[in-house]
Amino acid sequence: MPNDYNVSWVNVQGKSHKKSDPPIPCQDSYKFDILENGINIAIVSDGAGSSTYSHFASAFSVTRLLEICKSRLLLIDKLLKYDTKIEEEKKIVLEGWNTLSKEMFDQTRADLLKFGEDSSYLPKDLHCTLILVIKTPFGFLSANIGDGRAGYYNGVETKPLIVPFMTFTAGATFFLIKEGWENIFRSYAVFDEHVDYFFASSDGCQEFIIDASSKGPKTGVYDNILGNDAFYDLNKPFHPFFEGVIKSLKEVESNDERNERLRNLIENGIYSLNGEEKELKSISDPTLDDDKTFVFFYK
């Protein structure tokens, strides 16, 4: 099955990290790949600012999870055989994906612990979140531990692909390597064959890629963990942002040019279109100084 998507990506060091003495490396990492059977993969990890070697942890985790995904392609392919127009078969896919994705995250975590042991790093120094998005012919298989964002547009409306954990409270998310990770881990199957674009990002981008116009419904995804303290924002991708980005990126031909435009937008808030550049204050705001990683598939 041919791939119908362009892919652009950006991974930039936060302004506050650049100003530190010595500078703090970008603690975000990402991987993506285009595989057979119409499968595209995007993986993003955000290393904790308070964790000494989290940049190593995030880089290790995205690389290892992609390797594991590729090694489980036959199992993923089995899930694609079900008729997702039938409710009972949808349930089978969701249950099968929950088991498989948890196993893949568990293996990634075990290998991260071994990496830390071999490198003489303590687990507390390897804190990172992890988001996995797999585009399939029927829609998506996704999973996450911690915060960040992922979503898509089906030609009518934007929809989320994960629910971030504790995004609303600074420094209060959860990390793959911590004990009890399996209680926070969540997996999702989304059945929607029409997909114009989809993305995965670290939480450094959420102020401008997510619609902040209203609070979201109480979805219940983390109620069993947080109880009455559970809070859910709208978690809805802000379509005008993505629409504008696609227009800008499609003005240039090469991947290098597109990625340079995307980098200038995400890092500096400079939007290019029709031969003009303008600064978008919502992105260039100096308070938005976190690392930013954004992987974007679009038609």
Q: Does some domain include residue 10?
A: yes
Phi-psi region for residue 18, left (φ > 0), alpha (ψ -120 to 50) or beta? alpha
- Give burial (CB, 10 Å; 0-12/13-18/19+) of 139: buried
Q: Which of 26-30, 35-39, 102-106, 158-162 has the lowest mean pLDDT?
A: 35-39
Q: How many domains does the chain have?
A: 1
More confident residue, 24 or 198: 198
In angstroms, the CA 188 to CA 182 distance is 15
State yes or no: pLDDT of 2 exceeds 60: no
Residue 211 identity: D
Query: Alpha helices, DSSP H only, in 119-238?
Result: 181-184, 206-209, 223-226
Range of the domain at 45: 6-298
Q: What is the CATH number of the domain that holds 14?
A: 3.60.40.10
Structure tokens at 180: 């009890």
- 95 in any annotated domain: yes
Q: pTM here?
A: 0.96
Q: What are phi and psi of 165, to 5 degrees?
A: -100, 120
Q: Which pLDDT does position 24 carry in this prediction?
A: 83
pLDDT of residue 168: 61
Q: Is residue 40 a contact partner of residue 135, using CB atoms and an 8 Å limit?
A: yes
Percent share of the chain, pLDDT over 70: 96
In a domain, 92, yes or no: yes
Instruction: Tell me the pLDDT tens digit for each residue of 55-78.
Output: 999 999 999 999 999 999 999 999
Within a domain: 1: no
Q: Is the dihedral of CA 200, 201, 202, 203 positive or negative?
A: negative
Q: Report how far residue 84's alpha carbon sits from residue 86's, in angstroms, rounded to the nearest whole number.
A: 5
120-168 residue pLDDT tens: 999 999 999 999 999 999 999 999 999 999 999 999 999 999 999 986 6
